[in-house]
Copies of this chain bind each other. A is one copy, B any other.
Amino acid sequence: MARQNTVFKDAFNRCLLQLANTASLPSEPELGNALGVSRTTVRGILTRLEELGLIRWNKRSKTVLRQPKPEDYYPEDETDSLSAIIERSFMRRILAGGAEPGMQINELEIARDIGIGTTSVREFLIRFSRFGLIEKRPNSHWVLKGFTREFALELTEVREMFELRSAISFVALPAEHPAWADLTRIEAVHHDILADIDGRYTEFSELDERFHLLVHKSSANRFIVDFYDIITIVFHYHYQWNKTNARERNARALEEHLDYIAALRSRDPARVEEACRRHLRSARETLLQSIA
Protein backbone atom coordinates (compact mmCIF):
# COMPACT_ATOMS: atom_id res chain seq x y z
CA MET A 1 0.00 0.00 0.00
CA ALA A 2 1.33 3.40 -0.92
CA ARG A 3 -0.33 5.41 1.80
CA GLN A 4 -2.64 4.76 4.73
CA ASN A 5 -5.92 6.60 4.61
CA THR A 6 -5.46 8.02 8.07
CA VAL A 7 -6.68 11.45 7.06
CA PHE A 8 -9.95 9.89 5.98
CA LYS A 9 -10.35 7.75 9.09
CA ASP A 10 -9.51 10.54 11.46
CA ALA A 11 -11.88 12.96 9.72
CA PHE A 12 -14.56 10.28 9.64
CA ASN A 13 -14.33 9.81 13.40
CA ARG A 14 -14.52 13.54 14.00
CA CYS A 15 -17.51 13.72 11.69
CA LEU A 16 -19.34 11.09 13.74
CA LEU A 17 -18.98 13.35 16.78
CA GLN A 18 -20.57 16.24 14.90
CA LEU A 19 -23.38 13.99 13.77
CA ALA A 20 -24.70 13.74 17.31
CA ASN A 21 -26.20 17.20 17.28
CA THR A 22 -27.90 17.61 13.94
CA ALA A 23 -30.65 16.14 11.84
CA SER A 24 -28.84 16.74 8.57
CA LEU A 25 -25.35 17.56 7.37
CA PRO A 26 -24.28 20.78 5.63
CA SER A 27 -22.83 21.12 2.12
CA GLU A 28 -19.65 19.32 1.10
CA PRO A 29 -17.40 22.40 1.08
CA GLU A 30 -18.72 23.45 4.45
CA LEU A 31 -18.09 20.02 5.92
CA GLY A 32 -14.63 19.99 4.42
CA ASN A 33 -13.92 23.29 6.07
CA ALA A 34 -15.18 22.13 9.43
CA LEU A 35 -13.07 18.97 9.31
CA GLY A 36 -10.04 20.51 7.66
CA VAL A 37 -10.02 18.16 4.68
CA SER A 38 -10.68 18.36 0.96
CA ARG A 39 -13.95 17.63 -0.75
CA THR A 40 -12.56 14.37 -2.02
CA THR A 41 -12.22 13.15 1.52
CA VAL A 42 -15.59 14.56 2.52
CA ARG A 43 -17.22 12.56 -0.22
CA GLY A 44 -15.41 9.48 0.99
CA ILE A 45 -16.82 10.09 4.44
CA LEU A 46 -20.35 10.61 3.14
CA THR A 47 -20.13 7.42 1.11
CA ARG A 48 -19.04 5.50 4.16
CA LEU A 49 -21.75 7.08 6.35
CA GLU A 50 -24.32 5.96 3.83
CA GLU A 51 -22.93 2.42 3.65
CA LEU A 52 -23.22 2.14 7.42
CA GLY A 53 -26.82 3.38 7.27
CA LEU A 54 -26.02 6.45 9.32
CA ILE A 55 -27.37 8.88 6.74
CA ARG A 56 -29.41 8.93 3.58
CA TRP A 57 -27.49 10.88 0.97
CA ASN A 58 -28.94 12.31 -2.18
CA LYS A 59 -27.12 15.29 -3.65
CA ARG A 60 -27.82 18.19 -1.29
CA SER A 61 -29.88 16.27 1.16
CA LYS A 62 -27.92 14.36 3.81
CA THR A 63 -30.42 13.18 6.39
CA VAL A 64 -29.21 11.63 9.60
CA LEU A 65 -30.90 8.26 10.07
CA ARG A 66 -29.47 7.11 13.40
CA GLN A 67 -26.91 8.03 16.04
CA PRO A 68 -23.41 6.55 15.74
CA LYS A 69 -22.53 3.52 17.85
CA PRO A 70 -19.05 2.83 19.23
CA GLU A 71 -18.40 0.20 16.57
CA ASP A 72 -18.98 2.74 13.82
CA TYR A 73 -15.74 4.54 14.73
CA TYR A 74 -12.40 3.50 13.32
CA PRO A 75 -9.95 2.28 15.97
CA GLU A 76 -7.91 5.15 17.33
CA ASP A 77 -4.56 3.67 16.44
CA GLU A 78 -5.52 3.61 12.77
CA THR A 79 -5.96 7.36 12.76
CA ASP A 80 -2.42 8.32 13.76
CA SER A 81 -0.37 9.85 11.02
CA LEU A 82 2.81 8.02 10.20
CA SER A 83 5.02 10.87 11.32
CA ALA A 84 3.34 10.90 14.73
CA ILE A 85 4.01 7.18 15.07
CA ILE A 86 7.65 7.61 14.16
CA GLU A 87 8.05 10.50 16.52
CA ARG A 88 6.69 8.59 19.49
CA SER A 89 8.74 5.54 18.73
CA PHE A 90 11.90 7.54 18.27
CA MET A 91 11.46 9.61 21.41
CA ARG A 92 10.92 6.48 23.43
CA ARG A 93 14.17 5.14 22.06
CA ILE A 94 16.25 8.15 22.94
CA LEU A 95 14.62 9.19 26.19
CA ALA A 96 13.55 5.97 27.85
CA GLY A 97 16.05 3.49 26.46
CA GLY A 98 19.64 3.77 27.57
CA ALA A 99 20.63 5.97 24.68
CA GLU A 100 24.26 6.97 25.03
CA PRO A 101 25.51 10.14 23.39
CA GLY A 102 27.57 9.27 20.34
CA MET A 103 25.41 6.29 19.50
CA GLN A 104 24.75 5.65 15.85
CA ILE A 105 21.25 5.94 14.51
CA ASN A 106 20.31 3.60 11.74
CA GLU A 107 17.47 4.53 9.41
CA LEU A 108 16.91 1.01 8.20
CA GLU A 109 16.77 -0.42 11.70
CA ILE A 110 14.18 2.11 12.84
CA ALA A 111 12.13 1.50 9.71
CA ARG A 112 12.17 -2.28 10.21
CA ASP A 113 11.39 -1.85 13.86
CA ILE A 114 8.22 0.10 13.16
CA GLY A 115 7.46 -1.85 10.01
CA ILE A 116 7.53 1.02 7.51
CA GLY A 117 9.66 2.23 4.62
CA THR A 118 12.91 4.10 5.06
CA THR A 119 11.74 7.24 3.29
CA SER A 120 9.44 8.28 6.10
CA VAL A 121 12.11 7.64 8.70
CA ARG A 122 14.62 9.72 6.77
CA GLU A 123 12.20 12.58 6.47
CA PHE A 124 11.42 12.44 10.13
CA LEU A 125 15.10 12.52 11.06
CA ILE A 126 15.73 15.48 8.80
CA ARG A 127 12.86 17.37 10.38
CA PHE A 128 13.94 16.32 13.84
CA SER A 129 17.54 17.34 13.32
CA ARG A 130 16.70 20.97 13.85
CA PHE A 131 16.16 20.19 17.53
CA GLY A 132 19.89 19.73 17.93
CA LEU A 133 19.71 16.23 19.39
CA ILE A 134 21.02 14.39 16.36
CA GLU A 135 23.45 15.15 13.59
CA LYS A 136 24.03 13.67 10.17
CA ARG A 137 27.28 12.30 8.81
CA PRO A 138 26.77 12.67 5.07
CA ASN A 139 26.61 9.39 3.16
CA SER A 140 26.59 7.65 6.48
CA HIS A 141 24.63 7.33 9.68
CA TRP A 142 23.15 9.83 12.08
CA VAL A 143 24.77 10.40 15.43
CA LEU A 144 22.83 10.85 18.64
CA LYS A 145 24.15 13.85 20.50
CA GLY A 146 22.05 12.92 23.46
CA PHE A 147 19.75 14.52 25.93
CA THR A 148 22.59 15.73 28.10
CA ARG A 149 23.20 18.42 30.66
CA GLU A 150 24.91 20.57 28.00
CA PHE A 151 21.91 20.23 25.77
CA ALA A 152 19.61 21.40 28.53
CA LEU A 153 21.85 24.34 29.36
CA GLU A 154 22.14 25.48 25.76
CA LEU A 155 18.42 25.10 25.28
CA THR A 156 17.50 27.08 28.35
CA GLU A 157 20.03 29.80 27.59
CA VAL A 158 18.32 30.57 24.31
CA ARG A 159 14.92 30.11 25.79
CA GLU A 160 15.61 32.68 28.45
CA MET A 161 16.88 35.20 25.93
CA PHE A 162 13.84 34.74 23.74
CA GLU A 163 11.22 34.65 26.42
CA LEU A 164 12.56 37.68 28.23
CA ARG A 165 12.44 39.67 25.05
CA SER A 166 8.98 38.38 24.20
CA ALA A 167 7.64 39.18 27.64
CA ILE A 168 8.92 42.73 27.37
CA SER A 169 7.20 43.15 24.03
CA PHE A 170 4.02 41.64 25.48
CA VAL A 171 3.51 44.63 27.76
CA ALA A 172 3.71 46.89 24.72
CA LEU A 173 0.73 45.22 23.02
CA PRO A 174 -2.28 47.54 22.67
CA ALA A 175 -5.12 46.91 25.12
CA GLU A 176 -7.41 45.59 22.38
CA HIS A 177 -4.93 42.96 21.21
CA PRO A 178 -6.49 39.49 21.52
CA ALA A 179 -3.50 38.27 23.50
CA TRP A 180 -4.83 40.03 26.59
CA ALA A 181 -8.08 38.10 26.39
CA ASP A 182 -6.15 34.87 25.91
CA LEU A 183 -4.12 35.74 28.96
CA THR A 184 -7.28 36.17 31.02
CA ARG A 185 -8.58 32.80 29.92
CA ILE A 186 -5.29 31.12 30.69
CA GLU A 187 -5.13 32.76 34.09
CA ALA A 188 -8.59 31.44 34.93
CA VAL A 189 -7.52 27.89 34.14
CA HIS A 190 -4.58 28.33 36.49
CA HIS A 191 -6.97 29.13 39.31
CA ASP A 192 -9.20 26.20 38.40
CA ILE A 193 -6.35 23.73 38.49
CA LEU A 194 -4.89 25.11 41.70
CA ALA A 195 -8.29 24.75 43.35
CA ASP A 196 -8.18 21.01 42.71
CA ILE A 197 -4.47 20.49 42.46
CA ASP A 198 -4.49 16.86 43.59
CA GLY A 199 -6.98 15.84 40.96
CA ARG A 200 -5.83 17.99 38.08
CA TYR A 201 -2.11 18.59 38.38
CA THR A 202 -1.45 16.52 35.27
CA GLU A 203 -3.21 19.16 33.19
CA PHE A 204 -0.39 21.58 33.92
CA SER A 205 1.89 20.43 31.15
CA GLU A 206 -0.54 21.41 28.42
CA LEU A 207 -1.39 24.69 30.10
CA ASP A 208 2.27 25.51 30.49
CA GLU A 209 2.75 25.13 26.79
CA ARG A 210 -0.21 27.34 25.97
CA PHE A 211 0.96 30.07 28.29
CA HIS A 212 4.55 30.26 27.15
CA LEU A 213 3.59 30.00 23.51
CA LEU A 214 1.30 32.98 23.98
CA VAL A 215 4.19 34.97 25.40
CA HIS A 216 6.58 33.93 22.65
CA LYS A 217 4.07 34.84 19.96
CA SER A 218 4.01 38.44 21.08
CA SER A 219 7.55 38.74 19.78
CA ALA A 220 6.11 38.57 16.25
CA ASN A 221 9.35 36.91 15.25
CA ARG A 222 9.12 33.62 13.38
CA PHE A 223 12.48 32.41 14.64
CA ILE A 224 11.51 32.97 18.23
CA VAL A 225 8.12 31.35 17.79
CA ASP A 226 9.57 28.40 15.87
CA PHE A 227 12.18 27.84 18.51
CA TYR A 228 9.43 27.22 20.98
CA ASP A 229 8.73 23.95 19.15
CA ILE A 230 11.94 22.60 20.60
CA ILE A 231 10.98 23.55 24.11
CA THR A 232 7.59 21.96 23.58
CA ILE A 233 8.82 18.64 22.37
CA VAL A 234 11.55 18.37 24.99
CA PHE A 235 9.26 19.16 27.87
CA HIS A 236 6.43 17.09 26.50
CA TYR A 237 8.36 13.87 26.24
CA HIS A 238 10.57 14.58 29.15
CA TYR A 239 7.70 14.88 31.57
CA GLN A 240 6.08 11.76 30.27
CA TRP A 241 9.16 9.95 31.30
CA ASN A 242 10.08 11.67 34.53
CA LYS A 243 7.21 12.07 36.94
CA THR A 244 8.87 12.42 40.33
CA ASN A 245 7.36 15.13 42.45
CA ALA A 246 5.12 16.16 39.63
CA ARG A 247 2.42 17.48 41.93
CA GLU A 248 4.70 19.76 43.94
CA ARG A 249 6.59 20.93 40.91
CA ASN A 250 3.45 21.82 39.04
CA ALA A 251 1.86 23.57 41.99
CA ARG A 252 4.91 25.73 42.36
CA ALA A 253 5.07 26.50 38.67
CA LEU A 254 1.39 27.48 38.68
CA GLU A 255 2.05 30.02 41.42
CA GLU A 256 5.01 31.38 39.52
CA HIS A 257 2.89 31.71 36.42
CA LEU A 258 0.31 33.70 38.33
CA ASP A 259 3.00 36.10 39.51
CA TYR A 260 4.30 36.35 35.99
CA ILE A 261 0.82 37.00 34.61
CA ALA A 262 0.20 39.69 37.22
CA ALA A 263 3.48 41.31 36.22
CA LEU A 264 2.43 41.30 32.57
CA ARG A 265 -0.85 42.94 33.55
CA SER A 266 1.00 45.62 35.47
CA ARG A 267 2.75 46.51 32.20
CA ASP A 268 5.80 47.36 34.23
CA PRO A 269 8.81 46.03 32.28
CA ALA A 270 11.04 45.80 35.34
CA ARG A 271 8.48 43.75 37.22
CA VAL A 272 7.91 41.52 34.19
CA GLU A 273 11.59 40.91 33.84
CA GLU A 274 11.91 39.90 37.43
CA ALA A 275 8.93 37.52 37.45
CA CYS A 276 9.96 36.00 34.14
CA ARG A 277 13.54 35.47 35.27
CA ARG A 278 12.41 33.85 38.49
CA HIS A 279 10.11 31.41 36.75
CA LEU A 280 12.59 30.51 34.04
CA ARG A 281 15.30 29.91 36.60
CA SER A 282 13.16 27.45 38.47
CA ALA A 283 12.06 25.76 35.24
CA ARG A 284 15.70 25.30 34.34
CA GLU A 285 16.49 23.81 37.74
CA THR A 286 13.65 21.36 37.37
CA LEU A 287 14.87 20.26 33.98
CA LEU A 288 18.46 19.91 35.11
CA GLN A 289 17.55 17.92 38.19
CA SER A 290 15.74 15.34 36.18
CA ILE A 291 18.73 14.83 33.89
CA ALA A 292 21.67 14.45 36.24
A residues near B (Cβ < 8 Å) are: 7, 119, 122-123, 126-127, 130, 132, 139, 145, 151, 154-155, 157-158, 161, 165, 220-224, 226-227, 230
Complex Cα spacing A130 to B131, Å? 10
The distance from the CB of A222 to the nearest CB of chain B, in whole angstroms, is 5
The distance from the CB of A281 to the nearest CB of chain B, in whole angstroms, is 17
**Which single member of B127, B155, B221 contacts A157 (CB below 8 Å)?**
B221
Is A161 a contact of B165 with CB atoms below 8 Å?
Answer: yes
- Residues of chain B contacted by A223 (CB below 8 angstroms): 132, 154-155, 157-158, 227, 230
- Residues of chain B contacted by A139 (CB below 8 angstroms): 7
Q: Which secondary structure dominates chain A's binding surface? A: helix
- Residues of chain B contacted by A158 (CB below 8 angstroms): 221, 223-224
Is A222 a contact of B132 with CB atoms below 8 Å?
Answer: yes
Complex Cα spacing A119 to B126, Å? 13
The distance from the CB of A99 to the nearest CB of chain B, in whole angstroms, is 18
Other 4 A-B pairs with CB < 8 A, given A130-B226, A154-B222? A123-B123, A132-B226, A154-B223, A158-B223
- Residues of chain B contacted by A220 (CB below 8 angstroms): 154
> Which 9 pairs from chain A and chain B are nearest by CB?
A154-B221, A158-B223, A130-B130, A132-B222, A126-B126, A154-B222, A126-B127, A161-B161, A157-B221
- Residues of chain B contacted by A127 (CB below 8 angstroms): 126
Closest to A131 in B: B223
Closest to A223 in B: B158
- Residues of chain B contacted by A130 (CB below 8 angstroms): 130, 226
Complex Cα spacing A126 to B139, Å? 18
- Residues of chain B contacted by A157 (CB below 8 angstroms): 221, 223
16 residue pairs from A and B, CB less than 8 Å apart: A122-B123, A123-B123, A126-B126, A126-B127, A130-B226, A132-B222, A132-B223, A132-B226, A145-B222, A154-B220, A154-B223, A157-B221, A158-B223, A161-B161, A223-B227, A223-B230
The distance from the CB of A243 to the nearest CB of chain B, in whole angstroms, is 27
Complex Cα spacing A123 to B130, Å? 13
